[in-house]
């Protein structure tokens, strides 16, 4: 088995795609007006409109209703990314903070309220875990 993507259901696909393109620097590949993907080396962030939900199961997902998942991106320098996102990200949850497990993390919310964590491993153990 291979983990390949996380899909966000949104009421405004274009707005959320634009946000993630700006925040990550990745360009989206659009399949339809209701579905786009931002592909990275490790996984894909899929963004789909609420109109796609009935294709799976009506009522099974609701836009802007996430209260338990954090979408995480490994970045080279979280402090530099924080500087670049200042003025763009409007819902900063926590500025760059070194976590007990060795990652320096920047936590914010996307326009739909989903939590996003950009992080950089800073301790030897964390760097080894994410060595490429």
- Strands (E) located in 1-132: 5-10, 28-32, 35-39, 44-49, 70-74, 92-98, 103-109, 115-121
pLDDT digits (tens, 9 = 90+) for 3-14: 999 999 999 999
pLDDT of residue 104: 98
pLDDT of residue 131: 87
The residues of the chain scoring below 50 in pLDDT are none
Beta strands 44-49 and 5-10 are parallel
Phi-psi region of 69 (alpha: psi -120 to 50; beta: other; left: phi over 0): beta
- Average pLDDT of the chain, as a whole number: 96
Domains and CATH numbers, the chain: 1-58 (3.30.720.120), 66-131 (3.10.180.10)
Nearest to 36 by CA among 62, 5, 57: 5
pLDDT digits (tens, 9 = 90+) for 13-35: 999 999 999 999 999 999 999 99
């Amino acid at each position: 088995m291979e983990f390949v993507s996380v899909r966000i259901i949104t009421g405004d696909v274009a707005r959320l795609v634009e946000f993630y393109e700006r925040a990550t620097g990745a360009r989206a590949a659009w399949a339809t007006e209701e579905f786009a993907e931002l592909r990275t080396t490790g996984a894909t962030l899929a963004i789909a409109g609420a109109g796609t939900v009935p294709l799976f199961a009506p009522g099974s997902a609701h836009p802007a209703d996430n209260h338990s998942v954090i979408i995480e991106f490994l970045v080279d320098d979280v402090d530099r990314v924080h500087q670049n996102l200042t003025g763009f990200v409007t819902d900063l949850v926590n500025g760059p903070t070194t976590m007990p497990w060795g990652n320096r993390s920047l936590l914010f919310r996307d326009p739909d309220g989903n939590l996003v964590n950009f992080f950089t491993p800073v301790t030897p153990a964390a760097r080894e875990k994410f060595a490429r």
